[in-house]
């Protein structure tokens, strides 16, 4: 709203409701575009408090607002009766054809294309890396074009204060790109890691262990995730987020559970031992830090067990006396991981695990079906369960259902901590 405030403070004569609304919306949308470079997920200072899920939901919401404003901006100027621009045909056609608005038109088209390709990403024949590169470069270009448009064609941005705001916001946006794609890889080069082992952990599931190549011990909280670049230069754009399945107590080694789910993860099994790895992190708020609960409820679906194992292993390393219950959902027995370790923890501590299969084999003695309220109530049966803290990670629909069920059982939403591996 700062650009809108600075524009209003100029006290220029009104041009009519539609034109002034159009300008105000466009000024706030451009500021929002520039803010996305800092707030869309790669900076712990902005995401650290709310977590990556909410951060990216905020990014998607901002993109929808920007999209609506983009559609309204020329339409409001081009309303019947509005003045034509540079004497060209109808007002709306004139806007798109006017040479002095060319950078604005380019920014407009590019931003709409970015929003459309983000919404349709799963249906595009592009690999994730291509989409990510096009999204980043497109956003940087659109931001620069948008600022140029505001400063050359905008009625209010001729004001030196507002012009200064655009220059500062653009500089921060460019600086944030340099930080992520240049400075971070340079810093990572000072602390390379190496692959210690890659072993099959279940059906299409791998356990990857890495350790620092030189004496260096990172810090993280159990349940956090890291951006990993494996067997590539740290400047490559093929970094992927993975949750640590190990606990800080296991440092300097970090363990990950990785499910084959695309071109990169499908090749994890052939990663050479000793290969270089680069690590950016830790990130995320899927941790026990700052949370209290009379007991701890863990709910994992599929590879969502990874950060849950990290939390469980840390609780065990700290000899936490609180009751811990783990509900795990999978399709078939081949997907169950660490059954021996879980059995051992159950023998030593106040810990119970319930494995649920949606396609159980004959003779299966564990739970059957999906992780619904019935399964949750069967395991989380303590009288004070509403004062427990719950950690939930797994496929999106499972997480939504579990969150709804826990809330319907009386667990306050503030006691439910979630991590999503996919954003839509």
- Furthest CA-CA distance within the chain: 83
- Closest distance to ligand FAD from the beta carbon of 183 (Å): 19
Closest residue to bound ligand FAD by CB? 262
- Least separation in angstroms between CB 301 and ligand FAD: 12
CB atoms under 10 Å from CB of 96, counted, come to 16
Of the candidates 56, 27, 44, 50, the one whose C-alpha atom is nearest the C-alpha of residue 135 is: 56
Query: Of 269 and 295, which has the nearer Cβ to ligand FAD?
Result: 269
Interface with ligand FAD by CB under 6 A: which residues? 52, 122, 127-128, 225, 239-243, 256-259, 261-265, 284, 303, 306, 419, 421-422
Least distance to ligand FAD from the beta carbon of 360, Å? Answer: 23
Distance, in Å, from the CA atom of 331 to the CA atom of 356, rounded to the nearest integer, reads: 8
What residues contact 35, with CB distance under 8 A and at least 6 apart? 62, 169
Based on C-alpha coordinates, what's the Rg of the chain?
A: 26
Least CB distance from residue 224 to ligand FAD, whole Å?
9
User: What is the phi/psi pair of residue 18, to 5°?
Assistant: -60, -45
When the beta carbons of 240 and 387 are compared against ligand FAD, the nearer one is 240
For residue 249, the minimal CB distance to ligand FAD (Å) is 18
DSSP code for 388: S
Provide CB contacts within 8 A for 32, sequence distance 6+: 62, 65, 66
Instruction: Using the minimum distance from each CB to ligand FAD, give the nearer residue, 94 or 307.
Output: 307
- List the end-to-end C-alpha distance of the chain, in Å, as a whole number: 29
Q: Which is nearer to ligand FAD, 17 or 126 (CB)?
A: 126
Minimum CB–partner distance for residue 43 and ligand FAD (Å): 15
Q: What is the DSSP string of 305-327?
A: HHHHHHHHHHHHHTT--S-EEEE
Cβ contacts of 360 within 8 Å, gap of 6 or more: 332, 333, 366, 368
Q: Given the complex with ligand FAD, which of 380 and 391 has the nearer CB atom? A: 391
> CB-wise, 169 or 285, nearer to ligand FAD?
285
> Do 367 and 328 meet the contact criterion of CB atoms below 8 Å apart?
no
Q: What is the DSSP letter of 13?
A: P
- In the bound state with ligand FAD, the residue whose beta carbon lies nearer, of 67 and 202, is 202
What is d(CA 42, CA 48) in angstroms, rounded to the nearest whole number?
10
Cβ nearer to ligand FAD, comparing 118 with 143: 118
Dist. CA 336–CA 202, nearest whole Å: 7
Residues 37-56: b if buried by 16+ CB within 10 A, e if exposed: bbbbbbbeebbeeebbbebb
The backbone torsions φ and ψ at residue 319, rounded to the nearest 5 degrees and listed phi first, read: 50, 45
- The least distance separating ligand FAD from the CB of residue 37, rounded to whole angstroms, comes to 17
Shortest Cβ 244–ligand FAD spacing (Å): 8
- Of 77 and 390, CB closest to ligand FAD: 390
Q: How far is the CB of 49 from ligand FAD (least distance, A)?
A: 16
Prior bond of 424 cis (ω within 30°): no
Closest separation in Å from C-beta 247 to ligand FAD = 14
Q: Which is nearer to ligand FAD, 252 or 396 (CB)?
A: 396
């Amino acid at each position: 709203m700062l650009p809108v405030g600075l524009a209003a403070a100029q006290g220029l004569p009104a041009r009519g409701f539609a034109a002034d609304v159009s300008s105000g919306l466009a000024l706030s949308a451009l500021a929002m575009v520039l803010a996305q470079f800092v707030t869309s997920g790669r900076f712990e200072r902005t995401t650290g408090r709310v977590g990556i899920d909410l951060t990216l939901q905020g990014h998607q919401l901002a993109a929808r607002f920007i999209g609506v404003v983009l559609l309204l901006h020329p339409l409001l100027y081009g309303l019947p009766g509005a003045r034509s621009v540079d004497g060209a045909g109808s007002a709306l056609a004139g806007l798109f054809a006017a040479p002095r608005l060319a950078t604005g038109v380019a920014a407009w088209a590019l931003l709409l294309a970015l929003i459309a390709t983000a919404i349709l990403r799963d249906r595009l024949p592009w690999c994730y890396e291509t989409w990510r590169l096009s999204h980043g470069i497109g956003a940087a270009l659109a931001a620069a074009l948008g600022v140029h448009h505001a400063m050359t064609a905008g009625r209010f941005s001729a004001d030196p204060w507002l012009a200064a705001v655009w220059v500062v916001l653009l500089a921060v946006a460019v600086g944030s790109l340099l930080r992520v794609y240049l400075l971070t890889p340079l810093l990572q080069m000072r602390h390379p890691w190496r692959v210690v082992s890659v072993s099959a952990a279940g059906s299409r599931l791998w356990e990857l262990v890495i350790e620092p190549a030189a004496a260096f011990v990172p810090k993280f909280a159990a349940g956090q995730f890291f951006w990993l670049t494996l067997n590539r230069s740290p400047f490559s754009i093929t970094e992927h987020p993975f949750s640590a399945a190990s606990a800080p107590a296991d440092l300097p080694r970090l363990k990950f559970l990785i499910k084959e789910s695309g071109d990169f993860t499908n090749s994890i099994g052939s990663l050479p031992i000793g290969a270089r790895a680069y690590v950016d992190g830790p990130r995320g708020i899927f941790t026990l830090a700052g949370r209290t609960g009379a007991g701890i409820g863990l709910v994992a679906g599929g590879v969502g067990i990874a950060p849950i194992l990290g939390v469980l292993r840390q609780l065990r390393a700290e000899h936490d006396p609180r009751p811990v219950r783990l509900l795990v959902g999978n399709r078939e027995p081949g997907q169950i991981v660490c059954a021996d370790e879980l059995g051992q923890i159950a023998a030593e501590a106040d810990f119970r695990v319930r494995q649920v299969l949606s396609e159980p084999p004959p003779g299966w003695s564990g739970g059957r079906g999906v992780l619904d309220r019935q399964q949750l109530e069967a395991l989380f049966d303590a009288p004070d369960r509403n004062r427990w803290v719950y950690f939930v990670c797994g496929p999106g629909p499972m997480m939504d259902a579990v969150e709804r069920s826990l809330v319907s059982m009386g667990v306050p939403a503030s006691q439910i901590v979630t991590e999503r591996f996919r954003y839509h």
